[in-house]
Amino acid sequence: MSDREEQPRVVIRDKRRIDPVTRPGPTSESGEQMSEQETTVVEQPTAPTVTGGADLTQQLAERTEDLQRVTAEYANYRRRVDRDRSLVADQAAERFATQLFPIVDDIERARDHGDLDGAFKVVADRILGLLDGLGVTAFGAAGDPFDPSMHEAVIHDTSSEVSVPTATTVLRQGFRRGDRVLRTAMVAVTDPESPAPAAPAADQAGDETAQPSDETAAPTSD
């Protein structure tokens, strides 16, 4: 340390207000007089130019058209998504129901033999309830008119008791879901007998028209 400690620097500020009329204020190095408060000039932003009424109307029409197009595209997209979702759900339900059809066939055979009772009947009712929940119904009964789109004919015979091809025996039930046939019914079909041939005409000559004679009658003399 030095023998004499450094004394703190003393700064004197004169805050008295100077009247610019009676006593001019301090001047800058260039000789210009400085005021106590400097004035800051702020440039105001210019207002944007407003386009004409026709341009605004055209822009509004274009934006409205764009909005309508986007709205229509979104509506079409939602419809496609809903349709695809419904189609996937229907296909899954039909695949699951198809796997239950062999079990239902065993249940029907047990019912025909009188073996559907006890715990087996409880399980059978639950399986049939699953099909009902999926909207699947069975079809095919003796006496139904034969329909190639719904029946599979495996046996044919004829009978005079029917007037149209008829499913007289159902060998296996069919199933459908709504209007869609999931499995055709296997049936025996009875066709009507062929009608008897028409009897020949009794008098062939009577049905034919008379033929003109080749000989001409000679004129008679008086």
Domain ranges of the chain: 136-194
* Complete DSSP assignment for 126-167: HHHHHHHHTTEEEE--TTEEP-TTTEEEEEEEEETT-SS-EE
Using one digit for the tens of pLDDT, what is the confidence trace for 72-124?
999 999 999 999 999 999 999 999 999 999 999 999 999 888 888 888 899 99
Q: In whole angstroms, how far apart are CA 185 and each of 105, 143, 150, 172, 178?
A: 12, 13, 6, 6, 16
Query: What burial letters (b/e) apply to 52-79, b meaning 16+ CB within 10 Å?
Result: eeeeeeeeeeeeeeeeeeeeeeeeeeee
Give the SS3 label for residue 73. Answer: helix
Is 136-194 assigned to CATH 2.30.22.10? yes
Backbone angles phi, psi at 154, to 5 degrees: -115, -15
Using one digit for the tens of pLDDT, what is the confidence trace for 150-188?
999 999 999 888 889 999 999 999 999 999 999 999 999
